[in-house]
Amino acid sequence: MAGRSCGWTIWRDLPCVVIVPGMSSVQRRSGDAYAMQNAPCVILERDSPRRYANRLTAGFAITSFFAVATGCFVVHSVGVGFGVWGRNAAAWVVGAILAGVLARIGQARHICGVLLIAPLALLASVFNSGTAGVHRWLTIGPLSWNVSFLLLPAATLALAATARRGPPWTRWAVMLIQVELVIQPDASQATAFAAATIVTVLTTRSAWEARAMSLFFLLTSIVAWIRPDRLAPLPEVEGILTLAGAVSRPVAALCVASLAAVTIAPLLARKIVSDRECPAAVALSVYFLGCMLMPLFGAFPIPLAGMGMSPILGFWLGIGALNAVQDFTRQTDDKQVQAHIEDLDSTVTRRTGRADQK
């Protein structure tokens, strides 16, 4: 929006800081647009987009590293072989590389494609041979992948990033994902995904649509908890924290602290430059939090610390997708900012010409 100050036209809603000679350091930090009469120039100052991407990646890398490392240390201490915990370490490295690639080549419209892939992969897992009546995995070669942990972080972010201007079919895609989670059944993932989706629709959709979708996800989550889950817990997966407490209390405390820190890592991306960044970062953080809390209410895998490659890769892909959405959003904002600058420059030129004539 344009405003008037000292006879000059200024822009108050630019995703940037407009600096002119005479601006105080306080005004620069607050981001207030400022203009002085007869100012010879206007300079645009913006924070580096890569700075916030690096902050997000580093924050998640550090917290997740400690979570994975403590889990590997605990199972190694109780005699579990390298063939088990070594996979977690390898998954962390591979996930970091994939996240970096996704952050550089992905864009919001491309990441939306995961909302097509996830329902198909979950459907394949439903028809795959399960264990004790539970169908959560796809077997590829010698490895079994938990489809939910692998794809839902990116699916959660894809919905949040495209919620305001995305295609209508995305809402049906996430509802289909939720139904498939109930069929598996997987109450942990159904609840975490529902919580993240409800937070997204409440902040991005119209009131009636938000209420309807929230009610749907709430009811399906309840159904997922009612369905029987006869899987027996494994000490190195669902019981990793109990195992850590038996090995070393300081290690167990470090494990819990690192898992808690992982849940807030996505919020490091929350730089208010575009409204679309906030729902994406918050939704991913809520999903992470749901995954960490669900083991308190049942025999569910503890991500990152527990043995299993799918959560590690999936969480990294979510971080890479969040970085990609940030960069795409800022590129869009750059075009809008440039248009505002051109308008501002033409205004300044006209007023300078009038002043010279006088």
Lowest mean pLDDT among 11-25, 213-227, 277-291, 292-306: 11-25
d(CA 71, CA 175): 34
> What stretches of the chain show up as alpha helix (H) in DSSP?
25-30, 49-77, 82-105, 108-111, 114-127, 147-161, 169-183, 187-204, 207-226, 240-247, 249-264, 277-293, 309-357
Q: What is the mean pLDDT of residues 165-190?
A: 91
The predicted pLDDT at position 173 comes to 93
The predicted pLDDT at position 36 comes to 37
Whether the link from the prior residue into 142 is cis, omega within 30° of 0, is no
Q: Which helix (H) or strand (E) holds 146?
A: strand 143-146
Mean pLDDT over each residue of the chain, to the nearest integer? 79
Give the tens place of pLDDT for each residue, 111-143.
888 999 999 999 999 988 878 778 899 988 888
Q: Which helix (H) or strand (E) holds 140?
A: strand 137-140
Asked if the model's pLDDT at residue 215 lies above 90, the reply is yes
Q: What is the largest CA-CA distance in the chain?
A: 88
The β-bridge partners of 313 are none
pTM over 0.95: no
Give the tens place of pLDDT for each residue, 238-278.
999 999 999 999 999 999 999 999 999 998 876 533 444 46
The predicted pLDDT at position 20 comes to 43
Long-range contacts of 337-343 (CB under 8 A, 24+ apart): 337/14, 337/15, 337/16, 337/44, 337/46, 340/11, 340/14, 341/44
Give the CA-trace dihedral at 219, 122, 109, 334, to 10 degrees.
Answer: 70
Asked if the model's pLDDT at residue 316 lies above 90, the reply is yes
